Chain A
Amino acid sequence: MRPIKNPRLRKLIRFAVPWVLMPGLVALGIAVFHEKRYAFISLCLAVLSVVLFASGFDKKKTGTRRLVIVSVLTALSIVGRFIPFFKPVTALTVLTGMYLGAESGFLTGSLTAALSNFYFGQGPWTPFQMLSWGMIGFVAGLLASPLKKSRILLLVYGVFAGVLYSFIMDIWTVVWYNGSFHLSLYLTALVSAVPYTVSYVLSNVFFLLLFARPFGEKLERMRVKYGV
């Protein structure tokens, strides 16, 4: 296969695969198996996309130090998930994506979900958490330069990530339960999840506001002194 030369096109494809192709496939699956149980199809897709990403990661050459830093940040955000109510997981994932690149962001987010669920309970939701947290980190990596420039934009992204995470997980909950999407059920789920959504959004904004600068400085030191 010939590599794609045009960086714009490459970026577009990188963006399109997770955000257009994946939901598209889910929709297609729903259309074909109009019977019901879309949950299983989307589950398979979530697993598949994580596996695809993982095998891509294996082929790429990653510096030893970068690998360690990613594992450190993953462990930090797993530990952070134990803090009650205020959880820095999403903020850490976003910052990782911003400063270490989209791929590291995806890995930190998705591995945090997979590994922390050993303590918080594994279930069919794990692949979805992996996918959504991974995507939050991935997109933060794609938007790195504007996010680094504008504090406002970063906070907006934090709010967006918190709300989106909640919305996606609720869609999954409803689809899993009902076999198909059901609007009033979904709305009820959203309303009942409001305290969680608020806590996600607040934690994201809070931690991004407080961490963005010191975290940037710390990683900058890593870059200058150790060339990560």
Chain B
Amino acid sequence: MAILEIKDVSFTYSGQNHPALSGVSFSLEKGDFALLCGATGSGKSTLLKLLKKELTPLGELKGRVEYGGQSVYELPDAVSASCIGFVMQKSEQQIVTDKVWHELAFGLENLGLSSAEIRRRVAEMACFFGIESWFDKRVSELSGGQKQLLSLAAVMVMQPDILLLDEPTSQLDPIAAGEFISTVAKLNRELSLTVVMIEHRLEEALPISQKLIALREGRVYAFGETRKTACALQKDSEFLPYLPAAVRLHARFDTPLPCPLTVNEGRRFIEAAFDALPPAAEISPRVHAEGKALEFKNVYFRYAQKLPDVLRGTSFTLYENEILCVLGGNGSGKSTMLRIASGLSKPYAGHVSVFGKRIRDYKNQDLYKNCVALLPQDAQTVFLRNSVREELKGVDTSAFPFDLTELYDMHPYDLSGGQQQLLALAKVLSQKPRLLMLDEPTKGLDANTKAQFANIVRQLRQGGASVLIVTHDVEFAAEVADRCALFFLGEVVSSDETRAFFGTNSFYTTAVSRMTRDRVANLSTVDQACALLKDHRRRA
């Protein structure tokens, strides 16, 4: 019997004419792991919220949402609260209390359980999730990954049958995201928990899911077993960018071979489909400008005298009219480097110069006048007014490679993540910077928005800007960067032109590179791989 059944659901937000969802139907069995995908505005978040009584937005609903044969809107409060769990996108917003133990107990307190019962359940959950070592900590002391894990544990402690997750890894770095997804997979595998997850990182999530639901303009575009549905979706240009690299590569060729999902399957697909490959793709060397937009020479920095160095002799150069991506793990010092490059912190040794002038010689805020601007990681740190129009008052937007006029009457907080990012970028660009710095610009963006953002960055470079990007996102770096640098423990350990950079790295590289590296070196994106592979099809 289906545990969750959606029957012909249509939904229109109050005050709007156009339905957000129309005629959505599907059903899930107990223990299913379903992924929900679709573009921004396809209604996937709305659908997920409709599955949870407490989060149902205001509006007109038709059709039925059934949990175990009963409408979820008629479930008793306590059953609804405990049986259907919901994990939100930002753990900062989901977490209610100040201590880890209290957060775990919060839901159980609401159910009115006794202290002894709460103690037992909390202890059990802390053991399962390995939270004991930080059980007594304050929430503010946790890392991003730990916070999201705590959000999950605080929901799981109520022993739900169905777990709904709304882009749970969008704010995490790749390592924490991988850990989070495997924790969810473990819950699904070991506890037969039914999971419905909206997720952008399909590279990791798709292979472990069993069902895939694709939404388009409020309708179910495709629904079914993951592999079959993913293969069907690769014919569609709207969904293709969301799918894993192996699927995207497979989609470029008309082949009877089955569609690969993982890197490993992709490698086998290449082996089966192509032969007589050259040892390496040729890279035409890039000529960079002579002028230096930003130069770090042996820079040392620490936050306080007693603390260890964060930057230990960092040296690198960003030439004018170039896009440089700085990659590296958490705590590698790349964010600190950005603070120093944008004049927010001062190093205790070494030289930092911007356009040939020492950064400390810029006086009276001259550094920020037509010179340097930083797009912060969190776009919401720049919104001051009540509408996009007021935010952009006095800003000449005509020269920007994107258009926000459609959004002028909206409140900045009502925009989607991608739109907020563009609005923040517009505000930053209003200073007409010659050196633009971007801090994790793809955090939380879906594949299409990411591609759009990459385009914008390239156009800005064409307009003469130099761009420094700090990111975890290797796929984005491979798409957009001219050169890449790897940060490790406060030092640049390697830097090279993008293709050579990913060609030499074995682990810290793109999915395409990992698929192809034992046959052909220097391939890092699907486009590059296709350009080379198309001439080497294996004759049948």
Interface residues of A (CB under 8 A from B): 217, 221
**Distance in Å: Cβ of A101 to nearest Cβ of chain B:** 22
State A110–B3 Cα separation when bound (angstroms): 48
B384 to A, closest residue via Cβ: A214
State A217–B387 Cα separation when bound (angstroms): 12
Query: Is B345 in contact with chain A by the CB < 8 A criterion?
Result: no
State A61–B304 Cα separation when bound (angstroms): 48
**Distance in Å: Cβ of B74 to nearest Cβ of chain A:** 21
Interface residues of B (CB under 8 A from A): 386, 411
3 A–B contacts from the bound complex (CB under 8 Å): A217-B386, A221-B386, A221-B411
A217 to B, closest residue via Cβ: B386
Chain A residue numbers with a CB within 8 Å of B411 are: 221
**Distance in Å: Cβ of A72 to nearest Cβ of chain B:** 12
**Distance in Å: Cβ of B284 to nearest Cβ of chain A:** 54
Main secondary structure of the interface of B (DSSP, over half): loop
Chain B residue numbers with a CB within 8 Å of A217 are: 386
B411 to A, closest residue via Cβ: A221
State A221–B411 Cα separation when bound (angstroms): 10
State A65–B411 Cα separation when bound (angstroms): 20
Chain B residue numbers with a CB within 8 Å of A221 are: 386, 411
A214 to B, closest residue via Cβ: B386
State A217–B386 Cα separation when bound (angstroms): 8
**Distance in Å: Cβ of B190 to nearest Cβ of chain A:** 33
**Distance in Å: Cβ of B385 to nearest Cβ of chain A:** 9
State A221–B386 Cα separation when bound (angstroms): 9
State A19–B411 Cα separation when bound (angstroms): 42
Chain A residue numbers with a CB within 8 Å of B386 are: 217, 221
State A167–B291 Cα separation when bound (angstroms): 65
State A85–B409 Cα separation when bound (angstroms): 38
State A217–B411 Cα separation when bound (angstroms): 12
State A161–B386 Cα separation when bound (angstroms): 30
State A57–B458 Cα separation when bound (angstroms): 57
Q: Which 3 A-B pairs have the closest CB atoms?
A: A217-B386, A221-B411, A221-B386
A226 to B, closest residue via Cβ: B58
B413 to A, closest residue via Cβ: A221
A220 to B, closest residue via Cβ: B386
State A47–B386 Cα separation when bound (angstroms): 41
A64 to B, closest residue via Cβ: B54
State A141–B386 Cα separation when bound (angstroms): 25
**Distance in Å: Cβ of A169 to nearest Cβ of chain B:** 29
B54 to A, closest residue via Cβ: A64
State A137–B411 Cα separation when bound (angstroms): 29
**Distance in Å: Cβ of B533 to nearest Cβ of chain A:** 51
**Distance in Å: Cβ of A164 to nearest Cβ of chain B:** 32
**Distance in Å: Cβ of B43 to nearest Cβ of chain A:** 20
